[in-house]
Amino acid sequence: MYTVSLSPETDLHIVAADDTQRNAVFEAKVADDQFIEPKDWMPDAYRKTLIRQISQHAHSEIVGMLPEGNWLTRAPSLRRKAILLAKIQDECGHGLYLYSAAETLGISRDDMTEALHQGRAKYSTIFNYPTLTWADMGAIGWLVDGAAILNQVPLQRTSYGPYARAMVRICKEESFHQRQGYESMMVLAQGTEGQRRMAQDALNRWWWPSLMMFGPPDDQSPNSAQSMRWRIKRDSNDALRQKFVDVTVPQAQALGLTIPDPDLKWNETRNAYDYGAIDWAEFHAVVRGEGPVAKERLAARIDAWESNAWVRDAALAHEAKRSQRKAA
């Protein structure tokens, strides 16, 4: 017969247990805000949810390099080019930390990549919008990275240890990204009339897609309730979206730019901004991969994977040789 014991410092140890008892220990650890670690027992559904969320997060970081990479050769100065290059490299690093965190759950990098290429795994809708002008690089840093930070800061306390630890470093880098984006927008907003118009146009195009990044409204989010019970998600989609609006509106005012929402107004009673209706039909169409940009993004990822197969083959062959030499 299996038993479960609880140490005096609320540190829970499984001596041995059947699945019901193991689940009780798992639930108690989560309720006690202890991390679940790769070798701990966890319900299958928890493991699946984490693989889904972490791998989609990783894919978003990697696909997110594409719209910015598009502007590298057209950055207006060497300084801007160096900053953009560093940011893109950071996004790549974030993808790698996240793939590694997902691998601790028992899925391989190849399987995650295949799921993306076959359309079984998603990536953030935000990267299915085109980057039309240089100001889009500023708007992405300010709004997209700004939204990402708000979503990701609570993930530093997500219940799965490897995901939480990956998020610590990611959040530090994201806050640099947000600031460089805001600074870039500030230069444009205070520049010539043409530059100011370009900044306003970028804000007009990126505002609503940024609000959609947080996911569907709470009452239409199939995963939120369970993910919050498991403390994978710490805040609901709508709560984070509201926080984003509340911190970003004064930033736009400081830039002298106008948020493209005629219904936006301060609500004294709620102590928060009311904002207009989000076009959820557009969100769902973008999630389904409709539109030309989604096709371009996926084609670029598949092409990179296939044309770089020789690099993976060479690395694996080298590793096999090394192991052979060690064994000899």
Q: Is 189 in the site for ligand BYC (CB under 6 A)?
A: no
Binding mask 262-291 for ligand BYC (x = CB under 6 A): -------------------------x----
Q: Which residue number, 60 or 248, has a Cβ lying nearer to ligand BYC?
A: 60
One of 26, 46, 50, 64 touching ligand BYC (CB under 6 A) = 64
One of 200, 227, 242, 248 touching ligand BYC (CB under 6 A) = 227
Q: Which residue number, 138 or 216, has a Cβ lying nearer to ligand BYC?
A: 216
Q: Is 60 in the site for ligand BYC (CB under 6 A)?
A: yes
Q: Is 222 in the site for ligand BYC (CB under 6 A)?
A: yes
One of 180, 224, 242, 248 touching ligand BYC (CB under 6 A) = 224
CB–CB of 201/131 below 8 Å? no
Q: Is 204 in the site for ligand BYC (CB under 6 A)?
A: no
Q: Is 243 in the site for ligand BYC (CB under 6 A)?
A: no
CB–CB of 36/105 below 8 Å? no
One of 55, 113, 125, 131 touching ligand BYC (CB under 6 A) = 125
The conformation of residue 5, written as its DSSP 8-state character, comes to E
CA distance 216 to 280: 8
CB–CB of 48/102 below 8 Å? no
Long-range residue pairs from 277-286, CB within 8 A, at least 24 positions apart, any chain: 278/208, 278/211, 278/212, 278/217, 279/208, 280/216, 280/217, 280/220, 282/208, 282/212, 283/125, 283/212, 283/216, 286/125, 286/128, 286/129, 286/209, 286/212
Q: Where does this chain bind ligand BYC (CB under 6 A)?
A: 52-53, 56-57, 60-61, 64, 91, 122, 124-125, 140, 144-145, 148, 151, 212-216, 221-224, 227, 233, 237, 287
